[in-house]
Structure 1
Amino acid sequence: MKVVEVLHMNGGIGDISYANNSLVQRNVILMTKPIIEQAMSDLYCSLFPKNLCIADLGCSSGANTFLVISELVKTIEKERKKHGFQSPEFHFLFNDLPSNDFNTIFQSLGEFEHDLRKQFGEGFGPCYFSGVAGSFYSRLFPSKSLHFVHSSYSVHWLSQVPDFIEKNKGNIYITSTSPPSYINAYYKQFENDFSNFLKYRSEELMKGGKMVLTFLGRKVKILIPKNTGLIEEEKVDSFDVPNYTPSPGEVKYIVEKEGSFTINRLETTRVHWNNASNESNNGGYKMTRCMRAVAEPLLISQFGPKLMDLVFQKYEEIISDCMSKEKTEFVSVTVSLTKETD
């Protein structure tokens, strides 16, 4: 399986699209808003750039794609008015893998820019938008061209499934029964990928540039339906999800080891699974839709589309039962970084 070819969220604006089933991700962005605002405020007040280049990595599509951009613009406009400067020219770069639904993003740009101009009024700087298709584990942008990089719930996805000494029989991801060598292989792959990510972003960011990254973090209980009779055991055993949820300590260790960035803030937040829905009585259903919007294309690449409805019906039963008996939440790890040297 080539991750770059199959990893993407469900596109479009239909019932099982990511655009309509990403309330958890939206709440994570809103919870990390103070960290993002502080980083952008510090950057603007240290550089006062006339042209501001901002990249969102792993942007996907839908309202969340524009949420961070909107919040960053609010911070910049507030600071520039406070200091009596003209609004800068904005260049927003939306990055994701080539299979991402970029069409939905660009079909919404006219309305988004209109809303920005209506909100900030006359004197608001011109905006330029670009889509950049490619893996963020490679170079994406010209040297020293970026001021600010943001990424939320993306960098925990790996560039590839790691090589294993032992198989993780009966599972498609790390569980309490996974062999130590399997877990170590995942960590080593994450360390290598995240180190490359930092290296390439350090080449693309200018001195003093900022980066805020949010990972799906450790202590998340992953519920995978087992032995449902829907999928052959051999297919399950031959499939592994290219995803690693790091702890804050692991993020800190890799950043300091790579050496290109200074850590300004490193924090964890928790989001209850009920935040997948605006209604308290259908959390299991909404959480299943959220997970389906994220995972379905990856699962189809291995198991085909025929059984997806049945698989996620079973998943909803397990999720709902779990949510009724225990506290279920996601743990997020957010790190705010500054590039200190050229």
Structure 2
Amino acid sequence: MTIQLKQVLRMKEGTDETSYVKTSYIQKQVLSLTKPIKEKAITELYYKARPASLCIADLGCSSAELNTLGVVSELIQTIEKARREVGNNGYQQEYQVYLNDLPGNDFNTIFRSLPMFEDKLKKLMGQNFGYCFINGVPGSFYGRLFPANHLHFVHSSYSLMWLSQVPEGIEDNKRNIYIGKTSPPNVVKAYYEQFEKDFSTFLRCRSEEVVGGGMMVLTILGRRSNEPYSKESCYEWDLLATVLNDMVFEGLIEEEKLNTFNIPQYTPSAAEVNRIVEKEGSFTLNHVDVSEVNWNSSEQHKRNHYDFARCMRSVAEPLLINHFDEHILEDLFNRYKDIVRVSMAKENNVFINVTVSLTRNG
């Protein structure tokens, strides 16, 4: 990952109303949808390996402690259930949990909640519960993060669509901030090739760190369509580009600034993910699941367009501040809220999730 992007790419820190902690309701819904896949995979792993010290990594953990630590708690509960079923509850199981994200991530928000999390875990698991050691691992998962043959289970949700860099050679992607209707074919090609390179690197690095027979469950923001440009894969960025173009027209943003701003993200299809896994060759693909979550992903947020605008702000704000300037943010997201409201009144907007369960070969 390029040095500059490592420093900039993060979810909005803190705990205010536009922080990632307070707005990541869509991500929470996705974690709930994929829970059965995670449970099945880690149960199979435990039945096969039964390690005395089980090493789990959550890659791209971000700062929403209820999401991140909720996944950790669910995985541990699943293992404890499996342990009792096979009669291995006479000893105390050890868990080594690694929470990874880029160095700019707000790890402190998660760490402050650890004492409460550990207390709840002990009460939930009972007297015979062993030890859970939680570690922060800052760094890009497009490189090595752990010792060789160390991890038993890897989880990642809504992180692998982020690229290590903005693709090269897309200077002609004028007035777009991602793949758009008017993007030339070379732009689409450059985005896919960057994703293929990054995802292959991710798999290669994890193949060195995951034990033979170890498992990964990865959920990537993706698409059902074979077309890289489809509403389900980039409509949220289309709407943001519309707002930015309006602000350029009104003289509030320089046109050159807009033309040099591109989102470092690619939303793959299940077929593309499958193809790259098979080509890289280190993991066997056990299961592929394609699901969707509405922009209004729960009754609590039904018809509340502002929640979605805040959710997008928590994701995009650090990138926008780095490229433009902080002073445009309030105006930008007030406009974005309005355009999202109009869109959501007319149509049902969804995110598509591609989830894969993989086993390390060897």
TM-score clears 0.5: yes
Preserved CA contact (<8 Å) 1:53 1:92? yes
Report the equivalent of 2:88: 85
Q: How far does the alpha carbon of each residue in 1:4-52 deviate from its partner, in whole angstroms, 9 at most, with x for none? A: 1100001111111101100000000100011100000100000111100
- In 2, Cα distance between the equivalents of 1:146 and 1:302? 37
Aligned-pair Cα RMSD in Å: 1.2
The secondary structure found in structure 2 opposite 1:236 is helix
Q: 2:202 aligns with which of 197, 202, 215?
A: 197
TM-superposed CA distance for 1:58, in Å, is: 0.4
The residue number in structure 1 matching 2:52 is 50
How far is the alpha carbon of 1:92 from its aligned partner? 0.5
Partner of 1:227: 246
Contact 2:10 2:104 in 1 (8 A): yes
- 2-structure distance, mates of 1:8, 1:166: 24
Aligned residue in 2 for 1:340: 361
Provide the rounded CA distance (Å) in 2 between the counterparts of 1:13 and 1:44: 36
Match of 2:25 in 1: 23
In the alignment, what sits opposite 1:4?
6
Unaligned runs of 5+ in 2: 224-231
Q: As a proportion of its length, which structure holds more helix?
A: 2
Alignment of 1:44-193 (within 5 A): 44-62=46-64, 63-86=66-89, 87-164=92-169, 166-193=171-198
Q: Which residue of 1 aligns with 2:311?
A: 290
Counterpart residue identity of residue 266, structure 1: V
The answer as to whether partners of 2:222 and 2:352 remain within 8 angstroms in 1 is yes
Give the TM-score taking structure 2 as reference length: 0.92
Q: Mapping of 1:255-274 within 5 angstroms?
A: 255-274=277-296
Q: Give the Å deviation of 1:279.
A: 3.2
Aligned pairs, number: 340
Q: 1:17 to 1:276 in 2, by over 3 A?
A: farther
SS in 2 for 1:39: helix
Q: Is the 8 A contact 1:276 1:287 kept in 2?
A: no
Question: What's the offset of the Cα at 1:175?
Answer: 1.0
Question: What amino acid does structure 2 have at the position aligned with 1:263?
Answer: L
2:335 paired residue among 314, 330, 339: 314
Who is 2:220 aligned against?
215
The whole-number CA distance in structure 2 between the counterparts of 1:279 and 1:215 is: 23
| Segment drifting more, 246-255 vs 59-68 | 59-68
> Per-residue displacement from partner, 1:144-175 (whole Å, max 9, x unpaired)?
00000000000100000111155111011111
Contact persistence 1:276–1:286 (CA under 8 A) = no
Aligned to 1:328: 349
Shift of 1:80: 0.3
Kindly provide the CA deviation profile for residues 91-118 of structure 1, in whole angstroms up to 9, marking residues without a partner as x: 1100000000011111111000111111
SS, match of residue 19 in structure 1? helix
3-state secondary structure, aligned to 1:264? strand
Corresponding residue of 1:278:
300
- SS of the counterpart of 2:17? coil
Q: CA deviation at 1:276?
A: 6.6
1:146–1:209 contact (8 Å) kept in structure 2: yes
How far did 1:227 drift? 2.0
Instruction: Give the secondary-structure state (helix, strand or coil) at the position aligned to 1:156.
Output: coil
Partners of 1:261 and 1:340 within 8 A in 2: yes
Q: What is the DSSP-based 3-state SS (H/G/I as helix, E as strand, rest coil) of the residue aligned with 2:160?
A: coil
Task: Report the residue type matching 1:227 in the other structure.
Answer: D
Does the 8 Å contact 1:166/1:179 carry over to 2?
no
Contact 1:202 1:339 in 2 (8 A): yes
> How many Å apart are 1:298 and its aligned residue?
0.8
Query: What SS class does the counterpart of residue 211 from structure 1 fall into?
Result: strand
Question: Quick check: 1:244 aligned with 2:266?
Answer: yes
Runs of 4+ off more than 6 Å:
none
CA-CA distance at 1:277 after TM superposition: 6.8
Distance in 1 (CA, whole Å) between partners of 2:55 and 2:276 is 26
- In 2, the alpha carbon distance for the partners of 1:277 and 1:161 equals 36
Structure 1 residue runs without a partner (length 5+): none
Tell me the SS of whatever aligns to 1:93: strand
